Amino acid sequence: MPISTEKLPLELLDTDERLWRLKDVFRQWRENNQIITDEILTHGDHLVLFASTDKMEVPEMFIQGRLSLAKHAMGLGWREDLYHHTGAEDIAAGYLEASFGQAVLERVTMVSGEGMSRIILEYDRLILQFFTPKHYPQIFLISALKHLVRGSDHQASLESLLAQSPQNNSLVVLGSDRSSSEEHSQSGALIQ
């Protein structure tokens, strides 16, 4: 499954209302000198937290927010699944840049399947390195869905798709057969 990323200018946070949550996390990062404060709890369920990294790989994940795109669109094993797909190194680059103190805003496009089972997931993500009040680094990621397209011409909002089956997307987006796992045992029928 091909995955690609495209860097976006941070100015987009000011102009695209869809990115309001990313914009607020970026504001906190800037105004609080990259220190984590309880203000971030406003977005707690939407955040994915990682360890800082010095390698070109998706770092170890600490927390996958209950309402995060990663949780709902990619399933629990997406970090490992990435490495079975072309373009995964592009995904990893953003974390490394963030670990060096850069604010990374980029669009990620994931394509899986063919024909009517083809899925295109496109989302924008902001990756920032915060520090605890004791100055230990953590990577924060927050995403906003751009669009999700199923089949040749059917476009659905993530909300409507998730309302049918929250884990369904994980099967398709990362192209893994998890139908044998208990968590996904009820989710394979709808799209497959």
Partner 1 sequence: MPDFAHITLAANALPPDQYNTDREYFAAMTDRFGLQTTETIVALKCAGHTDISRFTVLEWLSFAQEYGEIVSKFVALAALNNANFD
Among 20, 56, 100, 116, binds partner 1 (CB under 8 A): 100
End-to-end CA distance of the chain: 16
In this complex, which beta carbon is closest to partner 1, that of residue 2 or of residue 101? Answer: 101
**146, 153, 190, 157: which is closest to 171 by C-alpha?**
190
Angle at 188 between CA 183 and CA 192, to 5 degrees: 160
The interface region with partner 1, picked from 14-22, 95-103, 116-124, 147-155 by CB under 8 A, is: 95-103
CB of 64 to partner 1, least distance (A): 9
CB of 141 to partner 1, least distance (A): 13
Residues 6+ apart with CB under 8 A from 23: 13, 14
| 18 sits near partner 1 (criterion: CB under 8 A) | no
Among 5, 28, 138, 170, binds partner 1 (CB under 8 A): 138
| 41 sits near partner 1 (criterion: CB under 8 A) | yes
**85, 66, 190, 171: which is closest to 180 by C-alpha?**
171
In this complex, which beta carbon is closest to partner 1, that of residue 20 or of residue 62? Answer: 62
| 63 sits near partner 1 (criterion: CB under 8 A) | yes
Among 44, 77, 151, 166, binds partner 1 (CB under 8 A): 44
56's tokens: 């070109």
In the chain, where do the E strands start and end?
A: 3-7, 48-51, 61-64, 104-112, 119-131, 137-150, 154-156
Interface residue list for partner 1 (CB under 8 A): 36-38, 40-41, 44-45, 47, 49, 51-54, 60, 62-63, 65-66, 99-101, 129, 132-138
